[in-house]
Structure 1
């Protein structure tokens, strides 16, 4: 995307001016990557399959401010059995739930404020035409499969326990930014992962996603903020040859989640 290229170019210039310092080697070794909270789902998030790849997008947040953030695409696992599950609905309406450890891989996406769920190929193939979705339990968290420097079991338990409980009051409340982030996630999951949609489908996305059921219990200002994000992204796509609607909405979602994450860290007093 244009914004990503511009940011990369700016960073390169800064590095050159600073004598091309290798900041990763210059700074002290820190524990990490971080444990991440996962925003609980009110309704199951649909899994979208494209060219044999089945994915879903989830909101996430950092639980450990002083631990190194994950690189893009870092592999995670659910902290507890049942935190993240795949729901499988057959043609006759019967639904079963299968734990994430058996069915999917969980990757950090664009930092620590989103996760990309990717179904294991064997799982997707075995379930055929069933309707697939992802559910996230209350107070869910994910932890890295591998750590550069291990976080102590005690510190990790605090992060995924009491700190995750505090996070409910920030990320899962009825509040403008939290509601806007939820609706942005819904819009992202209604779009294909890797390609643009037709202009007609793009412009009708809001009406398809922001239904009375989806917006139940949300603040009017949160719904308005999400609509503003959608309209701004449509304008961006109109004038860009590179940015898709999904690209733009993912960026807007990340911005809102970072604001909420800052508020969460302040509530904890910086831990």
Structure 2
């Protein structure tokens, strides 16, 4: 509920009539983020925030593409251990995950030859443009999107350098680990997000125990779980969305000034 109220304060509305949704800022990765591969598709979840408070929040699954001035690098490790770096702009596909606070990046492994491992790295001024769809009406003018992806995104560098951004990055990493490994690994490798992940793990364990006790008294516990039972994943997703929404609010309120000099972009 608090998150929905915060989104309303920002002026976000998924119901804005068929207009093109917000251009998003991709939070800098501060290093290389590993992609997890299933079959030919390798993907990861990355933190994001909106650069246009007057436009609609993207629906889950809204496709995005990297802005022309984005600096995105794929770090590809071959089967022989060799490492190469490739411009990711034409290879990486993006889609909003839950709202404007996270995107999923996907890469077709078959386009990268004998890749054994793949990672992605992004600098502090990367913006994502919504892929135009007929229902959005006429395409936006390039001068408009260039302004948002350029000066507006550059003015948001303070968000990338904030302490909360470090926590958000590690929350996204913990979610990826949780999807592909186990809870113990997610807690152990949470980095700056360790307190948040541990708090969620404790909260979920306590709530699950409480529900089991209640069902033991008032119903029948089958041992196969409880409908609507809390999960570490849902708790972390909510924590990440809340944190990125607060950062977005602070940005729009002018509480996070841009640094005097831009952070170094990743090498191409």
Q: What TM-score do you get using the length of structure 1 for normalisation?
A: 0.71
Equivalent in the alignment of 1:140? 126
Match of 1:262 among 246, 249, 263: 249
Q: Provide closer, same or farther for how the CA distance between residues 186 and 207 of structure 1 changes in structure 2, counting only shifts above 3 A.
A: same
Please list every run of 5 or more consecutive structure 1 residues that lacks an aligned counterpart in the other structure: 8-22, 211-222
Residue in 1 aligned with 2:234? 247
In the TM superposition, residue 248 of structure 1 has moved relative to its aligned partner by 2.4
Go from structure 1 to structure 2 and tell me whether the alpha carbon gap of 1:174 and 1:69 turns closer, same or farther (over 3 Å shift).
closer
Give the counterpart of 2:20 among 4, 10, 32: 32
Contact kept? 1:203, 1:234, Cα under 8 Å: no
Instruction: Tell me: CA distance 1:231–1:263, structure 2 relative to 1, closer, same or farther (3 Å).
Output: same
- Note if 1:231 corresponds to 2:214: no
Q: Is the CA contact 1:81–1:99 (under 8 Å) kept in the aligned structure 2? A: no
Aligned length: 221
- Give the superposed CA RMSD: 2.8
Paired position in structure 2 for 1:65: 53
| Matched residue, 1:87 | 75
1:264 positional shift: 1.2
Q: How far off is 1:109 after superposition?
A: 1.1
Asked if residue 207 in structure 1 is aligned to residue 188 in structure 2, the reply is yes
Distance 2:185 2:24 in 1: 33
Unaligned runs of 5+ in 2: 5-13, 209-224, 256-268
* 2:166 paired with 1:179: yes
SS in 2 for 1:187: helix
Aligned equivalents of 1:105 and 1:174: distance in 2? 26
Matched residue of 1:185: which SS?
helix
Contact 2:69 2:126 in 1 (8 A): no
User: How far apart, in 1, do the equivalents of 2:233 and 2:42 lie?
Assistant: 16
Match of 1:156 among 142, 145, 150: 145
* Residue 82 of structure 1: how far off its partner (Å): 5.2
Question: Is residue 72–residue 110 contact of structure 1 (8 Å, CA) maintained in 2?
Answer: yes
TM-score, with normalisation over the residues of structure 2? 0.72
Does structure 1 conserve the Cα–Cα contact (< 8 Å) formed by 2:33 and 2:120?
yes
Asked if the contact 2:36/2:43 (under 8 Å) is kept, the reply is yes
How far has the Cα of 1:51 moved from its partner?
Answer: 5.4
Deviation at 1:99, TM superposition (A): 3.0
SS at match of 1:33: coil
